[in-house]
Amino acid sequence: GENVEQHPSTLSVQEGDSAVIKCTYSDSASNYFPWYKQELGKGPQLIIDIRSNVGEKKDQRIAVTLNKTAKHFSLHITETQPEDSAVYFCAASYAFGNENLTFGTGTRLTIIP
């Protein structure tokens, strides 16, 4: 089955700086890679996703890059703000299979004002 590893587990960034979270996956058949933001006591919120037919996707301050050959993908947050503080999860799935998501272990991002 799929295995997703996520690094770092914790990340502290000065407000205004950029944050990068990296994930690797094991199953080359995986073709869908979402990122979720989870605030304390709440459910995960989809913030961006990428499919294997593209290498990069951007939405305002958030971007995701995908390297299929190396089987890794990264989340980039620029101009970080205090409200970006949360736990971020990456995930992977094979869209034409059972569509189950395999999650990474999460990264606790803290933005220092």
Partner 1 sequence: GAVVSQHPSRVICKSGTSVKIECRSLDFQATTMFWYRQFPKQSLMLMATSNEGSKATYEQGVEKDKFLINHASLTLSTLTVTSAHPEDSSFYICSASPIAGGQRDTQYFGPGTRLTVL
Nearer to partner 1, 41 or 113 (CB): 41
Instruction: Quote the CA–CA distance of 79 and 92 in Å, as a whole number.
Output: 26
Instruction: Quote the CA–CA distance of 106 and 113 in Å, as a whole number.
Output: 22
CA angle, 56 then 54 then 69, to 5°: 90
Of 60, 83, 98, 113, the residue at the interface with partner 1 (CB under 8 A) is 98
Q: Pattern 46-75, binding to partner 1, x per CB under 8 A?
A: x--x-x------------------------
Instruction: Quote the CA–CA distance of 28 and 88 in Å, as a whole number.
Output: 23
Nearer to partner 1, 60 or 98 (CB): 98
Instruction: Quote the tokens at residue 84.
Output: 């970006």
Nearer to partner 1, 5 or 17 (CB): 5
Interface stretch with partner 1, choices 21-29, 54-62, 65-73, 96-104 (CB under 8 A): 96-104
How close are the terminal C-alpha atoms of the chain, in Å? 41
Interface with partner 1 (CB under 8 A)? 32, 34, 36, 41-46, 49, 51, 89, 93, 95, 98-101, 103-106
